[in-house]
Every structure is written in structure tokens, then in C-alpha cells.
Amino acid sequence: MCPLLKVENVHKRYGKEEVLKGISLELERGETKVVIGPSGTGKSTLLRCINQLTPPDQGSVWLEDVEVTHARSSINKLRAQMGFVFQSFNLFSHLTSLGNVRIGPIKVKRMKKGTATCLAMEELERVGLSDKADAYPAQLSGGQQQRVSIARALAMAPKLILFDEPTSALDPELIGEVLEVMIALAKDGMTMLVVSHEMGFARSVADEIIFMEHGVIVEQGTPQQMFAAPNQKRTGEFLHKIDELYGETG
């Protein structure tokens, strides 16, 4: 059986700096993997290379049996199958929650407005925000805005969702509501690649934690193994550091 997502030997350079130095990973259907690592280590670049927002210099990315890195003309179609949730929400400020969630299905999938509205309402319900369908982003808390962005990703019926530090722009008291939605999604069988330092989330749903540093994967393993007995000294040190920084919310 082929994995849902396969990243093979991906390299990316910005000027003199090689930001990704040969990253390989796989996600089976329904798996959740959490990527951790110091700032500037290439985590965001890796996610962007996966959906080709940033084309890698070398290596390949496969979504099922389609090579994303060679997709060219069909890249928009492939990108629609990979949801992306950003740290900064990236909602359209002139559209309501409903407008933000249904715009993808209408514009990209050419869905009729009525059908897209029903679908968007279902997704807003799923993230607990059906009562905020008519609110604009500025009228929502950060946690609510991030839940709208998750509903927006879900409305495209993606094969997987990439999350780039989805809770790091939030006030601590708003992190829980977003993590709850993400935990429910993971338990529902969504395939997710999540850059996050929320180790409570990782412990409860991650099949694997991937520790990246300086553009390479230092170590990967189940949360149990990574916390109890990491193979690399650096992994232990980093996990200890995250615990100090994020421990109370994780």
C-alpha cells in the first residue's frame, strides 16, 4: 500500500543557506505526526515545500500516487487536496466566517452557492462556531478565527491538513479550544502533519513526533519513546526546553 504522503530527500536553499538538507518522511492515511524543532530550523519551509508554495530544489513529494513536485499544471488541484492552517489565520477580513469557509468550494471546486453554504455551515458546526457564521474576523477572538481557518480547510475535503504552529499566535487561554478541535479531527481519522510545540496535543494524538534541527530530521519516534528514552541527546534537551516554555499549556 502506498502512503498518503511521501516526502523524499527534499532539499531547499535560500542563497548560501541550505535550509532543508534532505528531509524524508511518510504519512499513512489517518496518521497525525507532529514536527518540533528550534526556530529557523526549516519547519515552515518543509510544509511549504510539501504543497509547493515553495518548490524544493531537489527531492520529491508524492500525494498518493501523484508526484506533487512534477505536477505543474495540476498543482492547484493538488494543493486543494492539502489543507493549510497558518499561525496567523490568514482569513479574508472582508468576508464573514461563512464567506471565508465557502469561498474555496465556490471558487476552486465550482460548487453552487447554496450547496457550498450548507457545507460551510456543517464545517462551522464541526468547529463549534455555527453561531458565528455572520461574524467578520475582526469580531472574533484569535481562537475563533483559527477555528474558522480549520473549518475553511475542512470545507475543501482535503486528503490531509498541514498545520504551521496553529496555536502560537494565541493567548494561552485560547489555545485549548483550538487544540480540542484538532484532537477531535485526529481522532476522526484526518491525516495531519502539525508543526507545534504543544506536547499535550502530541501525547494525546500523535502517532509520531519528528524532531528537526538545522534542516535535518534528528530523530523521530512515538511520543512515548521520544519522552521516555530519546536516542539522541539533543532530542532530550529540546523536549526538556519545550516543557519549560510550553509545559503549563501542553
Q: Which residues in this chain contact Mg ion in the complex, by CB under 5 A?
A: 43-44
Strands 5-14 and 17-27, sheet pairing: antiparallel
For Mg ion, the closer CB: 43 or 126: 43
**Side-chain-facing half-sphere of 31: CA atoms under 13 Å:** 16
In the complex with Mg ion, which residue's Cβ is closer, 44 or 144? 44
CB closer to ligand ADP out of 41 and 117 = 41
Q: Compute the least distance from the CB of residue 137 to Mg ion, in Å.
A: 22
Given a contact cutoff of 8 angstroms between Cβ atoms, the answer to whether 73 and 123 are in contact is no
User: Under the rule (CB under 6 A), what is the footprint of ligand ADP?
Assistant: 14, 17, 19, 37, 39-45
Contacted entry of Mg ion, ligand ADP, none for residue 14, CB cut-off 5 to 8 Å set by kind: ligand ADP
Rounded Cα distance between 148 and 85, Å, is 10
CB of 72 to Mg ion, least distance (A): 27
Say if CB 21 and CB 58 are below 8 A apart.
no
User: In the complex, what is the shortest distance from the CB of residue 54 to ligand ADP, in angstroms, rounded to a whole number?
Assistant: 7
Whose Cβ is closer to ligand ADP: residue 19's or residue 202's? 19
The dihedral over CA atoms of 14, 49, 38, 199, expressed in degrees to the nearest 10, equals 170
